[in-house]
Amino acid sequence: MAEFVWRFAADEPVFAGHFPGRPIVPGVLLLDRAIRFAEQCHGAAGLRWQIAQAKFFRPVGPGYTLHYHLVATPAAGWAFSILDDDGVEVASGRLQPVP
């Protein structure tokens, strides 16, 4: 198992225009970070990845600190879970490298 921490500053450019009045992190960025962490665990940057499964449970806003937990799967992929500082899961899924 591997754990990574990522904090979204309140002034991140991604918040500009992504839901005025209630800024949230786009799910694609949560997935992108999971893929980057999986690459670090896998030891191979630049792989192509397939998102085998992804579920989003709660929105992530400015100032959130996220805790990514990755666990290797039998098929050389990674299962991930993303939790906020309160230990509440905000997203989860599975990643597979594309051959």
The position carrying tokens 């918040």 is 15
- The catalytic position among 18, 42, 67, 69 is 18
Q: Is 67 a catalytic residue?
A: no
The position carrying tokens 């893929």 is 35
Round to whole Å and give the CA distance between 42 and 36.
Answer: 10
Are the C-beta atoms of 68 and 34 separated by less than 8 Å? yes
Active site residues: 18
